[in-house]
Structure 1
């Protein structure tokens, strides 16, 4: 064994932990060598501290360093393949963890910003926002990027950016064409269904009624303020 115990792998359970565990097993089997001796005698091109991190984690070492370690502790070809296979699985697991964390961070950021812009909304616009917001929550709070990508696949003719989606979900803006809002509702109802949440059967029709009221209300407000009313709602 090494002169100083390596300690428990500092990695999450699963492929990453298993990689460090199998690598430590071969290092311990090599003999009573300290990490400093392994570095100097085994032609491992790193410091003792870097070698310790490579064997304990939590950050995965480079593939080059893994090759140097298995060579230094005289692993057989089969053993080296076992280590490298575990390393590949650990890298894939680490990437999956990062992507999941990125999605959760994006969803949390979107959720924090998805509050009604009350200063410019009337009752009808707030009703529309409440409807969309409830549907958004039922859909599992997907990130705006996910909605944008889904919209481009569902209907390429409808251009829907993250800014546009954010505006609709907070009532900062109301689409002049219901066809665009309909795509958003389809995406949210499909996402809700996949999560086992049954959206209202008349989601499209209910949203359309709320949308007509919101657009009419906005036009009336603009006319009262002396501003151009803009075009009539387009179906």
Structure 2
């Protein structure tokens, strides 16, 4: 009889949900034993056990590799991509909880982005007695936006600020489509909620992968397409955003 992996060794919450998801993937993909998983993948039984039960969270690259092993390409490229995206999104939420605490006492209300209302995320500085000028122009943008993230209860890192700034500037150049407009046009294989889009644009959270963000950029650009002569510059801007996202993830505290 196969020995069960056991309950995740973390409190109930986003970390627990991540480990449950990983165990569910194993169950749905043949419910192989740790020994069988180790033999077929090359990773040790201990590596698999920790990644499925905790208490320490595995790193992002390992999560991606383990899920890709559980869902080989021959089972369907789209399914594999969706499962990896789901696991990385759960991992990102778990890391956020591990680093900054539970979200139960955080505000759940997320204002929807509109094409006429600029995005400002400075509620926390106001509570700290630092009034914020709501009429920011482009010259003040870099100095005033994304400096404080109330969800994470810390100032954004310089690498995060650069990513959020580049993403916001791209959003402006694309005609400031509303998050409702973008979410409604996302492909079925890469859905993104309005609250997620708002968090990205407001500097509250980083995308878990560039692939989904790239789809968002492509949809944004449908609002205000570039000409053939501008296409090369547009591709270059997207590449800058990709590099900035990688730098932001590497800079985050582990």
**Which TM-score band (shorter chain)?**
0.3 to 0.5
Give the TM-score of the pair, scaled to structure 1. 0.38
More helix by proportion, 1 or 2?
1
Please say which structure displays the higher CA radius of gyration. Answer: 1
